[in-house]
Amino acid sequence: MEVHVESPGGLHRQMRVRVPAERVAKAVDERLKRYASRAKLPGFRPGKAPRKVVEQQFGEAARIDAISDIVQQTYPEAISQAGVNPAGQPKIDITAEKTGEALEYVAHFEVYPEIKLQALEALKIEKPVVEVSEADIDKLVENLRKARREFAVVERAAAAGDRVKIDFLGKLDGEAFAGGEGKDVSFEIGASQFLPDLENGVVGHRAGEQFIVDVRFPADYRAENLRGRTAQFEVNLKSVEEAKLPEIDAEFLKSHGVEDGGGVAALRAKCKAALEKERDKGVQNRLKAQALDQLLAANPIEVPDALIQQEIPRMRQEAAARMNVAKLDADRLKEMLPDAVFEPQARRRVSLGLLIGEVIKSRQIKLDPARLDKALDNMAADYEQPDQVKAFYRARPDLMQGLGAMVLEDQVVDALVAGGTVSDKSMTLDELLNPQAAAKA
């Protein structure tokens, strides 16, 4: 078998393969024998028709099947002979095939890039140093109380934190616009459920009042005709309710897993442990983001389009699951979430995957079973019956493989951090866990 590889540019390759006529003839003969063994032809018992009759009836089909078989068989052989590493499936073009002659075809594919990692010690990592404060614990306890709050109707004017019910009608230049009307709409003032101007415009008004609020739409609002414009909303305030937080009594403590006698101190200790767990995750995420961002920036590589096209459907399904639209048919989902939406992130994912693989190879990093067990324990601890969850995972090789990939990636991050220059950076818990909110503050 003759194999020649051409490089038209970048990662693209053209592999020309020539299969000897003898091998083609043998494959056709084998196919004809299969047809003959099960053929039902008039005047002959099954499998007893003369060869010439079988050839007349099935010769063309046998040749087409044989060529398909030969391509499937010889492509991996040709890849091995040529010493190339394809990324994704090839596009096969048959360029020559005649009875009694050699079969020739061209396989078009991309190859994986050759990666030579730049000096990893050049990475500069800032490690967050965060202490869980009493104020952090106070905030979490207050949030636990808010989660169980109840609302009671009040006669006073609406204030931040109240829940209100309104009817509204939005108008632009005196004309109502699509999507600008609502009846019996409830929201909590300050919870950012509506546009800020509308929420704040209700403050100071009492139930039964009707008034107009000027609402400016942001420049990136989803409805193009409203972007950056100011609308007038006619508002009918129908009710105002004040939030009532529960007392931290025995019932409240029990509902949060604090047994009799533990008291508020036990609740606060539990809150502190939960916050420290979140802090540790946050620190690891910050380290991971820095290490991978710098790894990617220091090692720009060409990425096979085939791998990007494989990644995009996975990302689309992930997005569909988050949006609760995963049951839509594939065409409708692709129309709603086109490839272009995911292409940049897919390219990043593929690039990082290739670079991480190279780090694993160059540093000879192997999955740490102890870390895998710990990761499984931590994951299962979030469920009511952790032992059952762990048993379920261990019975599913695919789930364990996915968890193992996450652990191995964390090991790569640890290796990158250990090889770089690390400096401590003090910050609050809010700055660690909510960087965007902290930046706006």
pLDDT of residue 60: 78
Q: What is the distance between the alpha carbons of residues 257 and 243, in angstroms, rounded to a whole number?
A: 24
**How sure is the predictor about 42, in pLDDT bands with cuts at 50, 70 and 90?**
low
Over residues 165-190, the mean pLDDT reads 94
CA 123 from centre of chain: 26
Residue-averaged pLDDT of the chain: 91
Of the candidates 225, 133, 213, 230, the one whose C-alpha atom is nearest the C-alpha of residue 173 is 230
pLDDT of residue 99: 86
Q: Coil, strand or helix: which one is 179?
A: strand
Strand pairing partners for 108?
A: 14, 91
Q: What is the distance between the alpha carbons of residues 398 and 255, in angstroms, rounded to a whole number?
A: 36
Q: What is the distance between the alpha carbons of residues 62 and 55, in angstroms, rounded to a whole number?
A: 8
**How sure is the predictor about 40, in pLDDT bands with cuts at 50, 70 and 90?**
low
Question: Is 273 buried (19+), middle (13-18) or exposed (0-12) by CB count in 10 A?
Answer: exposed
Q: What is the distance between the alpha carbons of residues 18 and 52, in angstroms, rounded to a whole number?
A: 29
1 has pLDDT over 80: yes
Question: Is 342 buried (19+), middle (13-18) or exposed (0-12) by CB count in 10 A?
Answer: buried
In sign, the C-alpha dihedral spanning 103, 106, 112, 113 is: positive
pLDDT digits (tens, 9 = 90+) for 113-155: 999 998 788 899 999 999 999 999 999 999 999 999 999 999 9
Q: Which two tokens stand for residue 33?
A: 């024998």
pLDDT of residue 39: 63
Q: What is the distance between the alpha carbons of residues 180 and 217, in angstroms, rounded to a whole number?
A: 12
CA 335 from centre of chain: 18
Report residue 205: phi and psi, to 5°: -105, 155
pLDDT digits (tens, 9 = 90+) for 245-278: 999 998 899 988 888 778 999 999 999 999 999 9
Are the CB atoms for 122 and 298 separated by under 8 Å? yes
Are the CB atoms for 211 and 235 separated by under 8 Å? yes
pLDDT of residue 30: 85
Q: Pick the residue with more confidence: 121 or 288? A: 288
Contacts of 234 (CB under 8 A, 6+ apart): 168, 169, 170, 171, 210, 212
Q: In one letter, which amino acid is 232? A: Q
Q: Which domains does the chain have, with CATH numbers?
A: 2-111 (3.30.70.1050), 120-131+253-440 (1.10.3120.10), 150-244 (3.10.50.40)
**How sure is the predictor about 384, in pLDDT bands with cuts at 50, 70 and 90?**
confident
Tell me the C-alpha to C-alpha distance, in Å, between residue 141 and each of 89, 130, 135, 268. Answer: 55, 19, 10, 7
Host H or E run for residue 334: helix 330-336
Are the CB atoms for 167 and 185 separated by under 8 Å? yes
